[in-house]
């Protein structure tokens, strides 16, 4: 019977033990098939001419994107092995930010090769070990063909950011968004930690109205709220002293849920008078410090501000921005170089931030509050993204995130590598040559790994409407003749030196894509059963 074997019993007995391997093979093949299906779903969106996906979420929202991580994240994947490819894409997004589609496509191609090797009778552990060795060798090859880059070379950074934007819906705006991304990252680099960038220091704010052309970088602080207009409060303040408060400027409430019944009008007046005096006392303390702009954190327990407190704040000529989100507090305090104030008793002049101008500006269909000329401003940057509709706006934000991540990669690991399928073909060629020096099954497995990497140039050519077989064959020949940086020029529909065409990407994107894809495939290979613990 295929997949089964009869093993003599131990201890010299005449009993025989029946071992069924067919179930294990079936589970492994089912996992591989699920992984390939996920890879095939995103494969058509690889490269500058890749197609976009329209995703319809359960609550009726529509997303149009070709960002691999976003597509897979929104897909409802039930099969456990297929979920691993979704997590793989997320990992690539965290490590490099770009190449989220590439990593899944490479994993799918490796799974396809593993299926062939398993069909030839190669043991999964042998394949797994060989894949690990091949991926380490691939990273060595990629590192050897990388070109070092300095952060002072702004042009190279912009080229790299442009390459990541070329495959996006907003690719026609790459000449605007790429320099923005580079400048934003360079602005937030801390001299004390020159090799790391925290992208939380770059705030991307979306505003409907206008086109992506109107996107701008603001050296200052922007709030996606209008200033409070109750009782004619100010909407423009010069020489602003800004207080960031985390307490409520409203009458206190008891901790327990209770009702107080007041039957006497004089008692009612007394309650209202006490409330008024309580709020007035707070506002006098705020005004005494010279504060003329108040940022109020959103409160979930009770109203952070009431109409009465807004009325008195307007009389005191204090501009109020309310409903500041809790997660924005750290960014605001870092930008303004001020401290958040949790209690009115701790309201001091030295805890305030200072700016030359805080004003409300009408943008598109709404308003924003903008603070410029901030004294002792922290290393943060705000990018205001505009778009004609919500779908374009969301995709512009995702594309900008990818571009920011690409520049961050170059800060972490300062090496550039050619794009357009050139590194994959070069790695494939060198691994093929290395496989000939190996012996036994390892040689087969490394050759299979080399063939799997050809999926990237093949898919790039296929999505661009070129003949993939002739393109990949010509690429192989050119690389065999020593033209290491030769890749597919999608714009011209031919093979050229891709470095001269300014199609470059960070080394970290390629190395992490190959390492992560190999790690995921090795894990899927080692699974021989699925046990439900429900």
Give the dihedral of Cα atoms 517, 519, 521, 525; nearest 10 deg. 180
Contacts of 331 (CB under 8 A, 6+ apart): 200, 201, 203, 380
**SS3 (DSSP) at 25:** helix
Half-sphere exposure of residue 483: CA atoms within 13 angstroms, side-chain side: 17
Question: φ, ψ for residue 382 (rounded to 5)?
Answer: -120, 130
Q: How many CB atoms lie within 10 A of CB 205?
A: 16
**What is the Cα 168 distance to its own chain's centre?**
14
Catalytic residues: 67, 100-101, 402
Contact call for residues 250 and 311 (beta carbons, < 8 A): no
Q: 100-119 and 507-526 are packed helices; what angle lies between their axes, rounded to 10 degrees? A: 40
- 397: its two tokens: 């934000």
Q: Of 329, 323, 322, 327, which is closest to residue 353 (Cα–Cα)?
A: 329
Residue the block writes with tokens 């300014």: 502
Contact call for residues 421 and 505 (beta carbons, < 8 A): no
Q: How far apart are CA 75 and CA 87, in angstroms?
A: 12
Q: Of 456, 422, 243, which is closest to residue 332 (Cα–Cα)?
A: 243
Q: Is 313 exposed, middle or buried (0-12, 13-18, 19+ CB in 10 A)?
A: buried
Q: How far apart are CA 321 and CA 292, in angstroms?
A: 11
Q: How far apart are CA 345 and CA 342, in angstroms?
A: 9
Q: Is 287 exposed, middle or buried (0-12, 13-18, 19+ CB in 10 A)?
A: middle
Segment (H or E) for 238: strand 236-245
């Amino acid at each position: 019977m295929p997949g089964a074997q009869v093993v003599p019993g131990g201890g010299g007995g005449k009993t025989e033990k029946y071992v069924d391997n067919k179930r294990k093979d079936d589970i492994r093949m089912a996992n591989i098939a699920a992984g390939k299906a996920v890879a095939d779903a995103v494969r058509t969106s690889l490269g500058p001419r890749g197609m976009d996906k329209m995703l319809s979420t359960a609550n009726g929202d529509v997303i149009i994107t070709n960002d691999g991580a976003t597509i897979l994240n929104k897909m409802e994947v039930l099969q456990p092995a297929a979920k691993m490819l979704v997590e793989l894409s997320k990992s690539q997004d965290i490590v490099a930010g770009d190449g989220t589609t590439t990593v899944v496509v490479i994993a799918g191609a490796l799974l396809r090769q593993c299926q062939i090797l398993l069909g030839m009778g190669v043991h999964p552990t042998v394949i797994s070990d060989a894949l690990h060795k091949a991926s380490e060798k691939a990273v060595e090859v990629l590192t050897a063909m990388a070109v070092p880059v300095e952060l002072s070379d702004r042009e190279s950074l912009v080229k790299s950011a442009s390459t990541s934007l070329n495959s996006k819906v907003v690719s026609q705006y790459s000449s605007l968004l790429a320099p923005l991304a580079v400048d934003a990252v360079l602005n937030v680099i801390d001299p004390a930690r020159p090799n790391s960038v925290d992208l939380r220091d770059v705030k991307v704010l979306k505003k409907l109205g206008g086109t992506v052309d109107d996107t701008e970088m603001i050296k200052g602080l922007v709030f996606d709220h209008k200033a409070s207009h109750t009782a004619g409060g100010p909407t423009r303040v010069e020489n602003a002293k800004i207080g960031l408060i985390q307490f409520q400027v409203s009458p206190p409430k008891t901790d327990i849920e209770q009702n107080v019944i007041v039957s006497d009008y004089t008692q009612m007046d007394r309650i209202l008078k006490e409330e008024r005096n309580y709020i007035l006392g707070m506002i006098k303390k705020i005004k005494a410090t010279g504060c003329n702009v108040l940022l109020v954190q959103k409160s979930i327990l009770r109203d952070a501000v009431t109409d009465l407190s807004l009325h008195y704040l307007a009389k005191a000529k204090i501009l109020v921005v309310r409903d500041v989100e809790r997660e924005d507090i750290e960014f605001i305090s870092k930008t303004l170089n001020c401290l958040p104030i949790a209690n009115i008793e701790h309201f001091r002049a030295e805890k305030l931030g200072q700016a030359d101008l805080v004003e409300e500006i009408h943008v598109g269909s709404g308003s924003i509050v903008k603070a410029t000329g901030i004294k002792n401003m922290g290393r943060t940057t705000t990018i205001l993204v505009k778009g004609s509709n919500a779908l374009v706006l969301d995709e512009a934000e995702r594309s900008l995130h990818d571009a920011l991540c690409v520049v961050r990669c170059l800060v972490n690991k300062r090496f550039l590598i050619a794009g357009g399928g050139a590194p994959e073909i070069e790695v494939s060629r060198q691994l093929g040559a290395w496989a000939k020096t190996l012996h036994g099954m390892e040689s087969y497995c490394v050759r299979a790994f080399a063939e799997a990497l050809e999926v990237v140039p093949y898919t790039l050519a296929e999505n661009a409407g070129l003949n993939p077989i002739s393109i990949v064959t010509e690429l192989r020949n050119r690389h065999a003749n020593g033209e290491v940086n030769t890749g597919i020029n999608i714009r011209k529909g031919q093979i050229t030196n891709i470095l001269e065409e300014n199609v470059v990407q960070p080394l970290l994107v390629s190395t992490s894509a190959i390492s992560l894809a190999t790690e995921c495939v090795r894990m899927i290979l080692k699974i021989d059963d699925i046990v439900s613990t429900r």
